[in-house]
Every structure is written in structure tokens, then in C-alpha cells.
Amino acid sequence: MPRTVDLLLAALAAVILVIAPVARSAEGARFVRFGEAGAEKPGLIDASGRIRDLSSRIDDITPETIGLLPLLARTDPANLPEVSGEPRLGSPVARTGKIIAVGFNYRDHAEETGTPIPEEPVLFMKAATALSGPFDPIVMPRGATDLDYEVELAIVIGRTAKYVSEAEALDHVAGFAVGHDVSERAFQNRRGGQFVKGKSADTFAPLGPWLVTPAAVGDPQHLAISSSVNGQPRQSSNTRHMIFGAAAIVSYVSGFMTLEPGDIIFTGTPAGVGLAMTPPEFLKPGDRISLTIEKLGTQEQTVVPADL
């Protein structure tokens, strides 16, 4: 089935290549999904930072269409309609099949939490229903007491990957984005079982604002990464300090499960989380969190009380 899908996408890509005007250079692109939740349209960010409507070329950015992004990245934005106003941005990929996350992947974060430096990537899952837009509010789940933030480099898979080598791993990546691994530490650490309990509530995986293609990112292991809460700096590092880099992670994960187009990997967070402060400082309703990664943009959320 994956081979059949790849062939169909290749055929469709060939058709689009013939009919769609393309830019003179292929320097990469920034993709978005804009509009009300559940009714988002695909978009492309032009050189001036304006959204251009891609819906005449592609219905949405989903696992079925994400393989077309390398071709669509060559589209000349001047040939697309400009989107007026400042529409809501959704997650830059829809209908994600799974979200995998890597724990303790920065030495300083492992040290601040008293965790031994891992010899292999520590993997856990986040529910796909946790995915949300980069500026949507974070909803505290019922019974939450220890809500925390984690800025992370997120990898979005573009091609099926199974047992891929580290050397070829990034060929299977559609792009990179800012990811927020929102965590409820009491659920995570004191409710038994695995981390998934504290990582999977609705709105616990904001992604975006953009999905940035590898050509526009360059080296994913040389990006400044930071977060702040209510304007106060909390995390500040660089992806070069990751214990396991993006290529190593994709290769490693593909040895345990098949990675499919649209799957997302959160790659770990640096030191500075609320849990490690003395005393711990957890998020509360009204707090505003800002997360930034160089070349990938900034996302911001406000914490709101639990739905009752």
C-alpha cells in the first residue's frame, strides 16, 4: 500500500508540475493551514510574510498530500491569491496518525530532572488528538495541578520510513516546526504507568506556526530554541545540544515502528522547565507562553481553565 500511494503521489506531482507556474529558485518554503478549526485551508508564506492561498493547488496538508510539498515549495507565491486579514492558524498538518516524543534529549534537561543521561533515545507517545494550532489556548484538563511547558523541535514525516539509515533519514522528512510538548507532571509522574497520561490531553501538542521545508531550514542541529512565560525567559539553548540529532532520531524510531507521512516526532526540550525550578513553578490560567525556534517562527498560547 505505501508503494501504491507513493506512485499515485508521483503521478499527481507530475501533473501539477506541468500546470503550475514555479519560482525560479528552490530555496524551500513555509507552509501553513489557516482558517477556523475544522475548516482550514492550505497556504504558503511569501517573502513579505503574507499568506498566499494554496487551495487551488491542493485541498489540504494531510498524510495523503504531504508528499507533494517539495513540488509545491517551488510555486511562485505571486501566482497565488493573497489572504486578507490575520486568520487563525491551525496545525500545519492535519489528520496526523501518530505523535512520537523523545525524552531527556538535552543533557542539561536530564540533569535538571535528576535523570541519567540516556544511552538510547527515550521514546513515548502523545495522543494525536492533542494536536492544536500554534496560537490556540491550552486547556487545563480536569484535576490538573502541575501544568508545564516544553519547547521542542518537531519533525514532520513526508515519506514512509521503515528501517532507514541515519544517512538517508532526512530524505523522509517533509519539514520542521516549533512544537510545544505541554505536560501535566502530576499525571505524568504520580499516576502510574507511562508518560502518555501527562502528555495527551486535548491542546497538549501545539504545532507551528509554519511547516518549514528542509531546504529552508538548512542544518536542523544549529537552531536557537527558547521559551518564556508571561514575558520572563525560561528556556534558552540550541539544537546542537541535542544528545540525539534529528537524523539519528528518525532512523532510530523507524527501527521500532513504521513512520508514515504526516507523523510527527517531538525531539526533546532543553533545561528551564517549571518542574525544575526551586520551588517548581507550574502554569495556571491566564499565563501566556511564548516558544521560538530560529527559522521556524514563534507560537504563543494562553492557559485557560478546564472544561467543566
What does the domain layout of the chain look like in residue ranges? 2-79, 99-304
Q: Are 249 and 102 in contact (CB under 8 A)?
A: yes
226: pLDDT confidence band, cut at 50, 70 and 90?
very high
Kindly give the pairing relationship between strand 205-206 and strand 131-132: parallel
Residues 6+ apart with CB under 8 A from 285: 140, 303, 304, 305
Contact in structure between 256 and 120 (CB atoms under 8 Å):
no
Give SS3 for 216: helix
Q: What is the pLDDT of residue 15?
A: 47
Distance of CA 12 to the CA centre of its chain: 26
Residue 269 pLDDT greater than 70, yes or no: yes
The correct answer on CATH 3.90.850.10 for the domain covering 99-304 is yes
High-pLDDT (> 90) share of the chain, %: 87
Entry pTM: 0.92
